[in-house]
């Protein structure tokens, strides 16, 4: 992958290019930032530039033997680690068991989400992990001599998903790696990474994409038809994420499902709180049971709770008559015109805290049925304020 193929992020690209030209490549770097802004694409382009045999002024050549192999993500000195889901009945598994699917996913579109990846490797709604035995594979691969390049590159996508035992086993090699070894950790949630790992990496904060960069990328995409005006509006709503822009553009089914779930819980909670509607209370209990169903899974449960925080925040802003700061799609805007008065300065902080708390509980595998029914009861009380 060339730097020119990565959307925006010119300042970060220049920084990476300078580190190679000055021969001052940090051995362990953490690329941190929100999902969908191109961190993984940047890491691969950086790795390709490091290994390129005929570097241009600001990019890889794209045609040398190294670049040709990088184009297929099949360079023998490029290694990937990423969260996986252990197949039922299998005692152990490592990332190389899924490397073909991972390469195909990146080559198809490097701006993908963790849920997109889980959908590729498993029909089950489970959370992925980088398992403890992966540390042995990392150490084994990096102990070997390079095959073709001067450098070995280890890209760890979502190190926050790493098993604690695995992370602890990597501390020494992260601090004192073999010569000419580069670790590139790509994280959506660095706060969830062990502090001992964080302290051994140089942090590179990757910013959200600018609206102008998003507009250029949308207009350049041959798979979509979009006007300049619509691209500008979409870039604003996407809030710096190309992944979000494409998700909104394709009218992502899961976003609509989460919207319908949010509308249902808020309408029923208001009815129960203000009309003592016992039928609605039963429906709310059913809503909580449905949300806790194994078929939904914890990743989708968390995604809904994140979406609910977004809708709560946007409705409060709308209630303050700050419409120029709102990030709604059309169906969200239509609902929020009437709903926003119920999200006010008396309850907005507590509603946000309850959704955040529920998200943390789901992350920690607390019983989902208890989490969502408790959430329902609290929302009833908070909407009455």
Tell whether the model's pLDDT for residue 253 goes beyond 80: no
Q: Given this model, what pLDDT does residue 203 score?
A: 96
Average pLDDT, integer, range 7-27: 94
Q: Is the pLDDT of residue 238 over 90?
A: no
Indicate the pLDDT class of residue 104, thresholds 50, 70 and 90: very high
The architecture of the domain spanning 253-383 is Up-down Bundle (1.20)
Using pLDDT thresholds of 50, 70 and 90, give the confidence band for residue 3: very high
- Residue 51 φ/ψ, nearest 5 degrees: -95, -10
Global confidence as pTM: 0.70
Which band of pLDDT confidence, cut at 50, 70 and 90, is reported for residue 151? very high
32 in helix, strand or coil? strand
Q: Per residue in 222-231, pLDDT tens?
A: 888 888 877 8
Instruction: Provide the percentage of residues in the chain whose pLDDT is more than 90.
Output: 59
Domain 3-207 CATH assignment equals 3.50.50.60: no
Beta strands across the sheet bearing 202-205: 78-81, 152-157, 181-187, 28-32, 202-205
Strands 152-157 and 202-205, by their bridges, are: unpaired
At residue 227, the pLDDT reads: 81
Cα 289 to Cα 369: distance, rounded to the nearest angstrom: 6
pLDDT given for residue 353 in this prediction: 95
Asked, colleague to colleague, whether 3-207 and 253-383 share their fold, the answer is no
Asked whether the beta carbons of 93 and 100 are under 8 A apart, the reply is: no
pLDDT digits (tens, 9 = 90+) for 315-362: 998 888 776 666 677 788 889 988 999 999 999 999 999 999 999 999
> How many Å apart are CA 326 and CA 314, to the nearest integer?
6
Enumerate the domain spans of the chain.
3-207, 212-249, 253-383
Residue 181 phi, psi dihedral angles, 5° rounding? -115, 135
Q: Which residue has the higher pLDDT, 187 or 330?
A: 187
- Contact (Cβ atoms closer than 8 angstroms) between residue 132 and residue 165: yes
Per-residue confidence at 141, pLDDT binned at 50, 70, 90?
very high
When mean pLDDT is compared over 61-70, 119-128, 289-298, the highest value belongs to: 61-70
End-to-end CA distance of the chain: 53
Q: How confident is the model at residue 93 (pLDDT cuts 50, 70, 90)?
A: confident
Confidence category of residue 252, pLDDT binned at 50, 70, 90: low
- Strand segments, DSSP code E, in 94-196 are 152-157, 181-187
Q: Which residue has the higher pLDDT, 382 or 283?
A: 382
Q: What is the pLDDT of residue 254?
A: 76
| Closest of 252, 271, 290, 276 to residue 116, by C-alpha | 252
What are the pLDDT digits (tens) for 303-314? 899 999 989 998
Q: What is the mean pLDDT of the chain?
A: 89
């Amino acid at each position: 992958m060339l730097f020119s193929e990565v959307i925006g992020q010119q300042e970060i690209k220049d920084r990476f290019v300078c580190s190679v030209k000055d021969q001052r490549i940090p051995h362990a770097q953490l690329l941190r930032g929100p999902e969908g802004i191109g961190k993984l694409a940047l890491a691969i382009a950086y790795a390709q530039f490091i290994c390129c045999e005929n570097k241009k002024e600001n990019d890889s050549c794209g045609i040398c033997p190294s670049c040709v192999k990088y184009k297929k993500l099949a360079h023998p000195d490029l290694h990937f680690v990423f969260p996986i889901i252990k197949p039922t009945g299998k005692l152990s598994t490592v990332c190389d068991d899924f490397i073909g699917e991972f390469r195909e996913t990146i080559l198809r579109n490097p701006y993908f989400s963790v849920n997109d990846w889980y959908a590729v490797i498993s029909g089950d709604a489970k959370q992925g992990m980088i398992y403890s035995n992966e540390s042995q594979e990392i150490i084994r691969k990096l102990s070997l001599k390079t095959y073709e390049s001067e450098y070995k590159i280890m890209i760890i996508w979502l190190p926050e998903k790493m098993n604690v035992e695995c992370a602890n086993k990597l501390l020494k090699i992260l601090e004192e790696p073999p010569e000419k070894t580069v670790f590139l950790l790509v994280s959506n949630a660095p706060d969830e990474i062990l502090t001992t790992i964080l302290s051994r990496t140089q942090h590179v904060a990757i910013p959200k994409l600018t609206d102008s960069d998003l507009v250029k990328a949308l207009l350049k995409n041959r798979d979509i038809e979009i006007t300049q005006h619509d691209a500008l509006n979409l870039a604003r709503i996407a809030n710096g994420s190309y992944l979000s822009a494409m998700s909104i553009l394709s009218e992502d089914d899961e976003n609509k499902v989460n919207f319908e779930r949010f509308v249902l819980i808020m309408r029923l909670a208001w009815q129960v709180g203000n009309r003592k509607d016992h039928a609605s209370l039963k429906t709310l209990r059913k809503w909580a049971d449905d949300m806790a169903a194994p078929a939904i899974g914890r990743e989708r449960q968390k995604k809904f709770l994140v979406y609910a925080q977004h809708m709560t925040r946007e409705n409060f802003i709308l209630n303050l008559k700050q419409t120029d700061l709102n990030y709604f799609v059309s169906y969200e805007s239509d609902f929020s015109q009437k709903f926003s008065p119920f999200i006010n300065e008396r309850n907005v902080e507590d509603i946000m805290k309850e959704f955040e708390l529920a998200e943390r509980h789901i992350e920690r595998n607390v019983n989902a049925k208890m989490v969502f029914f408790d959430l329902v009861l609290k929302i009833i009380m908070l909407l009455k304020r």
